[in-house]
Amino acid sequence: MPELPEVQTTVDGINRRAKGQTITDVWTDLAIPRPIKQFVSTLKDLAFYKRFKSLVSGAKIIKASRRGKNILIHLNNNHTILIHMKMTGHMMYGVYDYDKKQNSWTVHKNEKNEALRDPFNRFIHFVISLKNGKYLVLSDTRKFAKVTLLKTSEIFDSHHLKNHGPEPLEENFSLKEFAERLRKHKNKPIKMVLLDHSVIAGIGNIYGDELLWEAGIRPLRLVKDVSEKEFSLMFKVMKKVLLKGIDFGGDSMSDYRDIDGKRGSFQNAHNAYRLTGKPCKKKGCKGKIERVVVGARSAHFCNIHQR
Ligand SMILES: [Zn+2]
């Protein structure tokens, strides 16, 4: 699932490619008349989608930003499109063709960017048409992504975002606040608390494993057994690992692709995530990466230097 670095990479891409563009239309094949409760007021709700379409058509994209794992596309009509890519979603920009018979979209034959033709980029379920003849599209194999529209002034108080903890890369987020927030969950495993977006926003399984490897802390260690010194180290390496993820253009071990349909490369820099059985890469460490289950999700750690 895209985490903070992947979502930031996409947001930066939207700002690079589509900022200042006017939306002429939107399309989806996910809207149905009577969606289940959790899809009401999203793109999957036909009545909502009709309102969405009329509200965003004609609006200009001011800029995109990020909150946790959510993409926020701010429009000049006091509304904001919120997109959570979930498991397999990613946004791309290019020239596309609509096939009326099939009710589907494919890359236009004149599109020069070959990366958009990557098989992982074929599952187009949401399209924003732009005045310059290009398109912002959402490819999503498993169709779990969430797309909705909110008044910009209400977005941070909406149920989508109001429970989010602080942004780990924000400058005014201090070590003191980091430690205090985690310590409220003293009897839980550290990995589980790091992944709780109401404690800190944006960290998922990949970056959680990687930062604990760097900090030398086992994923199952209880928060109450983490020392002052270790909190300080964890705070430092958390920022380091997330910034490295952004530098590498995100992680494409799974479906994630950037705005141009290209893979990121953080998957080549893993030290722990999905390296079960491999020797530890830490200098001088003779350990091996093991896998353990934490809160129904797998965690990967070195059996020697992580304690
Ligand atoms: Zn090790």
Q: Cα of 279 to ligand 1 centre, how many Å?
A: 8
Q: Cα of 175 to ligand 1 centre, how many Å?
A: 25
Q: Cα of 299 to ligand 1 centre, how many Å?
A: 15
Q: Cα of 254 to ligand 1 centre, how many Å?
A: 25
C-alpha closest to that of 186 among 216, 214, 218, 225: 225
pLDDT score for 295: 85
Q: What is the pLDDT along the chain (307 residues), one digit of tens a residue?
A: 999 999 999 999 999 999 999 999 999 999 999 999 999 999 999 999 999 999 999 999 999 999 999 999 999 999 999 999 999 999 999 999 999 999 999 999 999 999 999 999 999 999 999 999 999 999 999 999 999 999 999 999 999 999 999 999 999 999 999 999 999 999 999 999 999 999 999 999 999 999 999 999 999 999 999 999 999 999 999 999 999 999 999 999 999 999 999 999 999 999 999 999 999 999 999 999 999 999 889 999 999 999 9
pLDDT score for 244: 98
Cα separation of 125 and 267, whole Å?
A: 26
C-alpha closest to that of 134 among 90, 105, 94, 104: 94
Cα separation of 304 and 307, whole Å?
A: 7
Q: Cα of 288 to ligand 1 centre, how many Å?
A: 7
pTM over 0.85: yes
Q: Cα of 191 to ligand 1 centre, how many Å?
A: 17
DSSP 8-state class, residue 222: B
Q: Cα of 195 to ligand 1 centre, how many Å?
A: 22
Burial (CB count <10 Å: 0-12, 13-18, 19+), residue 299 = buried
Instruction: Domain 175-302: state its class.
Output: mainly alpha
Cα separation of 81 and 23, whole Å?
A: 12
Phi, psi for residue 298 in degrees, rounded to 5 = -85, 145
Helix axes 228-247, 175-183, angle to 10 degrees: 110
Q: Cα of 2 to ligand 1 centre, how many Å?
A: 26
Q: Cα of 305 to ligand 1 centre, how many Å?
A: 4
Q: Cα of 290 to ligand 1 centre, how many Å?
A: 10
Q: Cα of 76 to ligand 1 centre, how many Å?
A: 51
Confirm if 174 and 180 have CB atoms less than 8 A apart.
no
Cα separation of 251 and 2, whole Å?
A: 8
Q: Cα of 177 to ligand 1 centre, how many Å?
A: 29
Confirm if 92 and 259 have CB atoms less than 8 A apart.
yes
Fold of 4-157: N-terminal domain of MutM-like DNA repair proteins (3.20.190)
Q: Cα of 159 to ligand 1 centre, how many Å?
A: 40
Could you give the 3-state DSSP secondary structure of residue 4?
helix
Q: Cα of 203 to ligand 1 centre, how many Å?
A: 22
Domains of the chain by residue range: 4-157, 175-302
Cα angle 168-170-173, degrees, rounded to a multiple of 5: 75
Strands (E), the chain: 23-28, 61-67, 70-75, 79-84, 89-94, 96-99, 104-107, 124-130, 135-140, 146-151, 289-294, 297-302
Structure tokens at 188: 């839980």
pLDDT score for 296: 87
